[in-house]
Chains A and B, each alone.
Chain A
């Protein structure tokens, strides 16, 4: 869309309010912006309009059929729309009555009751009484249609959201469909095969009623017993924004929290369900000390004494500190400080090092992948590394992008590529990129669902080359470990070729980019600065080892006097004969490593849902994940433990709460300069104060404080849309995310429509040397929510006395006006 068409707005009047909107705006979108509620079921902002449920009917003046659906009608100059006229109200009541006549009255046993769009909209817009005297339609209840999904056909209102998601977005092979006709219609896979999509959880979330329910959540909770916490998925490097629903400390459900920059509001099942395994059997709940009879549970005081004793006789300069790629920024930062400043060692590594790849791990934005003309999937399994990226791919393909795969990539993809070539032909394809963009653009039949049958996959390298030769925007998807093509290929491309090629290198672990930025690296310091240039840091940290550590090759077979591992337990082989091996982890099976090199001391680290922290995702977004539930046993955040360890060495960092660490990061890491918790605004923490006592029987949360009555599809409860969208601080990667010429930035468009999807506006950019990071600070600063830090009291570690700001009586988070109305 060119800017010109957007500028020529169309003026309409809705319920007497005049508004100007870009051409092509749907009436429902206009209503959102004008703050007028129109109920919807089938409409979804991420899917094509379908006009099936008819509940969004409004009256439009001067039309042959004046009752029109707001979800399918676009604004026209001079249009006069009434949502509350007698005709509009009657039509809407009529539709709701139709939806209710065969809907069972089983709300008392329905999981959705309390967050059901049918309940909510009938209450606000429906008829007060029922005229239906006939027999209701009956289906067998609770039909299992997939491993995780149960269908209640009687409750289904045939909005087709699940069917459309399955077809349009996920492109499932055994997609959901409507089976049978008319009043007998039901959802199912036409083939009778179970619906086991890797993205299947989304259809449960999309369902506006209780027709589709997740096996994992069924009968686990009532919505009003839940507390909702804004968190970030740790399943992979995408870092999809999530809402963690907690029932009295128990994590019972994970839902998506749409953030246009990071995800589309979809989660993969892997991410959706993996947090539910928080309380695994091998969970470490207390410090464990190795004895001759196995591991012995000890207190924190004992653990720290033991640590003190063990490290006294050791030359800590000969230490190795290894951080797992899933660890949060704060713990990584603390690990770097402990290693470089306290231990004075230069050997600080990631489990998956990516040493030589750092510079080309520059993030590629989601919008670049979605708008690429040609996508090359180079032997990478998206399903393993970053399942959600496949949905970005689907989006690009739907717009006509061409897909080339190399090696065995196609067998892991849900769609058929236009060309599939062998591994050894990759070099030839890369040669094509060095040629100027060919004037005649060759394209094959677009993979618009489901016209996949419109072409045959070609195995001819020449076809792949011709597809690539005419493309000016190419996205190369590959594993970060893969050395060929190296970064130079893409960065050294001649500007005059007229081609932008970016490689999305998918890393292992959820926070590799963030940890590199923290300085978990043997050659670079925090912020990617040269170790020599860290005078300030040296001062702030009271000494700093600026030597370069070993390369991963040098590390092989080398033994250390002290090995400290954060987040995993994989470095047994590096522990010297009389060395001390200390592990910070949240799960550990004491049975497995029966060697001498089993950890001497294991300290319990909190799960990612049990403490507030930040991470950086593959596109370079710095994201805040709130504390959703109490840490199991006596576990603590990694940074807290590391701070305690430093204290043993009489190094006092003065970090007593999360804000202190964040401020220190903001002070000492150039790319995060000035960072503070306020940058994450109101998404920072729990939505309302945690019930005292924290156990069953505790007072119920104050319902008036629940932001949205219907939590299942926040952005569909339109008035509260803006407040529900996830927010992130933004770390963008320099020039690697070009804007698309001639194409309207969808976010800008969304903003014009009133969808507040960004926190970037007016931000200042700051550069980092290593990753060429820029942090753009959020706009308006809002008070952070109450911190759960006080809950660490019971662990009894005195140094973690909460700072005075958290001692204030817990304040209810400020609610937007629009949110209050609904609850």
Chain B
């Protein structure tokens, strides 16, 4: 068991954001192999065999997603790279964009060739101005070197890449809201179906893939699907970049084989919990329900975390020590969700604000036991009833917090009741 740098392989080398250095290290050999020695169908098969699943949060098999794009559509097809990484606790795409922009471009060439796409958009979170500049430079370098544009690798395959900066909304990480935003509209999620694969950007077939997903493709091509699928668990193949943060000695991005125990990430990679004992873990970004210290040995893969009652999400692991009140954690996260709720649907627009108000009241010492029931009931009215999953996300911390750490809430309420009496 060890850190396994697969996606982050070239991260260990210097100057990888420059084309020359990247190529020298072996970069762009994966895309060359894909374009010159695979048919598009064969390439999709290869990716399916590798077992690669989306690294954005939902974990949908990448090859399968590509195969949903209709082959005979007369419309143009588009690839949208989801670089709107805004899930609290997550910073993996930021690292990839900053240090390995060419690896992403290589991944775009591979995905584009497999699906038959000749126009790709890299949607980068508004706040990541620096990364957008780095990626733009890399795209220009690739154009200058003939790696993008017309007739790539003399194969007759054309691909154009456009870098687009978002305007700073968490919701635009949701793929259909991202498409709306890219088209110049308000970042509202769209009705599904139709799914983007059928009707996405400008109502044309569209693939939306996460930065890490695409950045994994060159390695898979270089080393083969079999090699990649030999890592990980039965259903969660390969490796993943985990962003470790919170009360740990050494927060950071660590790439681990899927199926590695959580304790390895926290203790070996992160140097253990600081400031107290382990109290709770958010295993997959702010949208994931809390886990407790008992779950320290949960296997870091999609299935095991789901079984433990949470979700692998964006791969961001947030460690919380026992000096922290879970009420504060909930309030912190819900403040984020209410701020980022797009306002399209009533439950999320009104519900997140209401939850935040109640939590505020509890932390300020004006809560009652009744409020805890109201919190749970409002969460129930919100989860599964909102337009997109943002509403569900806003409730996960509160529901799991009240499940595992109800005493934190009750203590606040009771101390108040005592003073009041």
Contacts and interface: CB of A to CB of B under 8 A. Distances in A.
B186 A51 contact: no
Interface in A52-103: 52-55, 57, 65, 67, 72, 90-91, 93-95, 97-99, 101-102
Interface in B176-221: 186, 191, 202
A421 B378 CA distance: 60
A185 B343 contact: yes
A7 interface: no
Interface string A37-55: 0000000000001111111
Contacts of B353: 102, 137, 182-183
Interface string B380-399: 11101111000000000000
Given A72-B191, A98-B347, A101-B350, A54 B341 contact: no
A132 interface: yes
B169 interface: yes
Contacts of A54: 345-347, 385-387
A181 interface: yes
A95 B350 CA distance: 9
Given A50-B191, A132-B354, A185 B385 contact: no
Given A134-B358, A134-B361, A178-B186, A183 B385 contact: no
A463 B316 CA distance: 56
Contacts of A184: 343
Nearest to A137: B353
Interface string B45-78: 0000000000000000000000000000000000
Given A101-B354, A131-B374, A55 B349 contact: no
Given A90-B381, A131-B374, A181 B342 contact: yes
A397 interface: no
A622 to B, nearest CB: 41
Contacts of B349: 98, 158, 182-183, 185
B347 A95 contact: yes
A484 to B, nearest CB: 40
Interface residues of A, number: 38
Contacts of B339: 182
A668 B26 CA distance: 94
Given A94-B381, A131-B374, A183 B350 contact: yes
Interface in B329-355: 338-347, 349-354
A93 B346 CA distance: 12
B226 interface: no
B357 interface: yes
B208 to A, nearest CB: 20
A52 B384 contact: no
B331 to A, nearest CB: 14
Contact of B346 (A65, A99, A135, A181): A99
B235 to A, nearest CB: 19
A65 B384 contact: yes
Contacts of A50: 191
Q: Would you call the interface of chain B mostly helix, strand, loop, or mixed? A: helix
A98 B346 contact: yes
A803 interface: no
A705 interface: no
Contacts of A67: 384-385
B385 A182 contact: no
Interface in A168-207: 177-178, 180-185
B351 A98 contact: yes
Contact of B381 (A97, A135, A137, A180): A97
A134 B354 contact: yes
Contacts of B202: 451
A49 B346 CA distance: 15
Which of B352, B354, B358, B378 has its CB near the most chain A CB atoms (within 10 A)? B354
Contacts of B384: 65, 67
B374 A134 contact: no
Nearest to A177: B186
Nearest to A100: B350
A182 B342 contact: yes
Interface of A: 49-55, 57, 65, 67, 72, 90-91, 93-95, 97-99, 101-102, 131-135, 137, 157-158, 177-178, 180-185, 451
20 contacts: A51-B345, A52-B345, A52-B346, A52-B387, A53-B346, A54-B347, A72-B191, A94-B347, A94-B380, A94-B385, A99-B350, A102-B353, A132-B354, A134-B357, A135-B357, A157-B346, A181-B340, A182-B342, A182-B343, A182-B352
Given A98-B381, A102-B353, A183-B343, 18 more contacts: A52-B344, A53-B345, A54-B346, A54-B385, A90-B380, A94-B381, A94-B385, A95-B381, A98-B351, A134-B357, A158-B344, A158-B346, A180-B343, A182-B338, A182-B353, A183-B353, A185-B343, A185-B349
6 closest Cβ pairs, A-B complex:
A94-B381, A185-B343, A134-B357, A98-B350, A182-B341, A182-B343
